[in-house]
Chain A
Amino acid sequence: MLEIKNIDVYYGVIHALKDISLTVSQGEIVTLIGANGAGKTTTLRTISGLIKPANGRVDFNGERIKGTSAKDIVKKGLSHVPEGRRVFPEMTVFENLELGAYLRKDKKGIKDDLDRVYASFPILQKRSRQNAGTLSGGEQQMLAIGRALMSRPKLLLMDEPSMGLAPLLVKEIFSIIRQINEQGTTILLVEQNANMALSIAHRAYVIETGSIVLEGTGKELAQSEEIKKAYLGG
């Protein structure tokens, strides 16, 4: 479904992504784990068109999307839950969700999806008239996910959905991710919480200073000695 081949990204003179390749197939949860500053967020931002790579290919559903505008990429069915949630703080929860469906014109479908999001996250319905900036961190994360789902994506990119959340909430968010996947959305998940990420991922990549250094199934990596030492705390 998504295929990245030999991507290089530079920030000025800094070589942020070095020859990155990865694939995500229909129906999978794939996770990209690595330390702070390894290039996880940059990889996602490159896929969703916020950063233009210097070279390489990004194919989504067989179409080349490198150089396509972020807007057209959303239109093709790729949605991105950014790092740090990035909800629109001075807009209501409802308006945030509405903006998630910005490119859609099918009123009926939007309404259905809104009901679906409210069903998955009842707290959002309760707070629908409240400004998003007044929500707690966990609620904001749910809103960010709900907002991304409002574009009815085929592939969902998620950047550190567990960041800054209490352990109990992290569990909840991960079970939501699994549910979204079971309902048919493919997921590319970036995480620092390697333990949790590997436990739900079908496949995983490990990124270190801009290069992919390891890949395998979630299980394999969770048991690899190297990974245990570097990312799982022993």
Chain B
Amino acid sequence: MEQFLQQIINGLSLGSIYALIALGYTMVYGIIKLINFAHGDIYMIGAYVGFVCITYLSLGFVPALIIAMAVCALLGFIIEKIAYKPLRNATRIAALITAIGVSLFLEYSTMFVAKPDVRTYPAVLPDKSYTLFGGVRLSFKQICLFAVTIVLMILLQYIVRRTKMGKAMRAVSMDQDAAQLMGINVNSVISFTFAIGSALAGAAGILVGIYYNTINPLMGIIPGLKAFVAAVFGGIGIIPGALIGGFSIGIIETLVSGYGSSLYKDAVAFAILILILIVKPSGLLGKNTREKV
């Protein structure tokens, strides 16, 4: 029981990371039906920006987090303008291939600039941990991870539900033409969506650096793919789905490593993807679309 609870806590920590990345996937998909495969690399860039802020600029955790999010938001904005916007009316496969190109570009430019070496994240948060009921350990880093994730999710929910831009985002994701007829500028809504999604990935990047201590230029590939699985699991295009998917994949993965073997954890994540695509392709919260005439 104790081990189980411990695994759940670890799973929730990992799941927070996946959930933050999955949100960006799902939001971008919801708006332009593009699987942005470069999204995992934006998360990697976030980790590097955080690394630079903490190591070279000696900033604390919160300023580093904010800067990483801002840089990633800007990066997402620029990538959309340069790489995806010209393909807005092209086939979906063209945009998808471009996304893979952007992904490789980000990975290898980072490798060129920052060297391929694994970097060790400086200890910016105290390495304390607390023993809870029944001997379950909760580290200070995990608490910060949860806190940041929860704050960001509430913020996102507020933006999407309450602000004018958020309402415009939902309108564009439901019906682009009708949104234009309301006077919504679809291009700026798309840019905004990329910026927000990328900022969340950037936050995930710096959090993972702090939590696992090491980063490298290719670190975005596997978590990116798993976050994609998480988004599909919850129902791609649906924001709460990305949260549920992220936490589920995180917990399943730690349980598999804890009780089985960590060698199988990636296989299990992708087996889940295959299973969902067979059983319920629209995802946990997805609905089959229907039209009223």
Would you call A230 an interface residue if the criterion is a C-beta within 8 Å of the partner chain's C-beta atoms?
no
Q: Is the CB of B181 within 8 A of A82?
A: yes
Q: Is the CB of A137 within 8 A of B293?
A: yes
Interface residues of A in 76-110 (CB under 8 A from B): 79-80, 82, 84, 86-91, 95, 98-100, 102-103
Given contacts A84-B293, A98-B167, A140-B292, contact A91 B174 (CB under 8 A): yes
Residues of chain A within 8 A of B171, CB atoms compared: 88, 91, 99
What total of chain B residues lie within 8 Å of the partner, measured CB to CB?
A: 18
Would you call B2 an interface residue if the criterion is a C-beta within 8 Å of the partner chain's C-beta atoms?
no
Nearest-neighbour CB distance to chain A for B293, whole angstroms, equals 5
Nearest-neighbour CB distance to chain A for B167, whole angstroms, equals 6
Q: Is the CB of A74 within 8 A of B292?
A: no
Interface residues of B in 171-212 (CB under 8 A from A): 171, 174-175, 177-185
Q: Is the CB of A79 within 8 A of B167?
A: no
Residues of chain B within 8 A of A90, CB atoms compared: 170, 174
Contact with A along B145-175 (1 / 0, CB 8 A): 0000000000000000000100110110011
Residues of chain B within 8 A of A88, CB atoms compared: 170-171, 174-175, 178
Residue of A99, A140, A163 near B182 (CB, 8 A) is A99
- State the CA gap A84–B291 with chains docked (Å): 10
Nearest-neighbour CB distance to chain B for A137, whole angstroms, equals 6
Residues of chain B within 8 A of A147, CB atoms compared: 182
Nearest-neighbour CB distance to chain A for B200, whole angstroms, equals 22
Q: Is the CB of B167 within 8 A of A80?
A: no
Residue positions of B touching A, CB distance < 8 A: 164, 167-168, 170-171, 174-175, 177-185, 292-293
Apart from A79-B181, A90-B170: 17 A-B pairs, beta carbons within 8 A: A50-B181, A70-B180, A70-B181, A71-B184, A80-B181, A86-B177, A88-B170, A88-B171, A88-B175, A88-B178, A89-B174, A90-B174, A91-B170, A99-B182, A99-B184, A102-B168, A102-B182
